[in-house]
Amino acid sequence: MRADLVHYFSDRRLAVRTRLWRNSVKLMLLTFDVEDWHPLADEWVYGFRTTPSGRVPLQVDQIRRVLDSLGARGTFFCVGSTAEAYPSVIRSLAADGHEIASHGYSHTPVYAFSPSQFEADLKRAHEVLSDLSGRPPIGFRAPQFSITSATWWAFAILVKWGYLYDSSIFPIRHRRYGIPGFDRYPKYIQAAGRTIVELPLATAGFCGVNLPIAGGTHRLTVQGLDTAGVFFKKPISINVSPH
């Protein structure tokens, strides 16, 4: 887990945020991407994925303790291959009432797939997560927020597999992802004759520009949690990736 998030989860800060939660927040969607970041980062650096790091159970447990202290439940977007490596983590999250949603099987960005390859990856994760949690996931988050205008076709595949909502679109301008100008708040999307809800990643509007406040790599995340809790009047989706 990153140092600033460790600080965020410290007891003193948690007490402050607990008061904010009880006094100010009407609805907050807390989502967490469960992925073994180090093998993924090794792939970027060395060109291949290393073996599971073993860090996932401890980091997920830290998040669970915070949620328990708030009486809150969260949505965990789980990578299928990570779920296979740590099946007891997924089983116990589901048993505690947390939602298990899909983050794909291999954590491959949608734009690196053809539609048929994307469907195969989605199906594999769907089956793993259904088996471990006891129910099929209904929510999806694309690795690296990779549903963009160029990969809009993914929605037709998601509705085909019964997904009711997606949380992949970042309404910002970014070199690898994002749809600038997309709504900052939940909206319905029509795909293949069906409807799916899009819960865009949280942003803060500032001087006409959308600033990212969700996402494990954005430095505004921690401040964003405060901002979202205090100032936003509509539901937004915040996510934190334990590293």
Shortest distance (Å) from residue 122 CB to Zn ion: 14
Shortest distance (Å) from residue 164 CB to Zn ion: 20
Shortest distance (Å) from residue 120 CB to Zn ion: 19
- Between strands 187-191 and 139-140, the pairing is unpaired
In this structure, the number of other CB atoms found within 10 A of the CB of residue 68 comes to 11
Residue nearest to Zn ion (CB): 33
Q: Which is nearer to Zn ion, 113 or 232 (CB)?
A: 113
Q: Which is nearer to Zn ion, 139 or 232 (CB)?
A: 139
Shortest distance (Å) from residue 103 CB to Zn ion: 6
**Interacting residues toward Zn ion by CB under 5 A:** 33, 35, 143
Shortest distance (Å) from residue 40 CB to Zn ion: 8
Q: Which is nearer to Zn ion, 33 or 166 (CB)?
A: 33
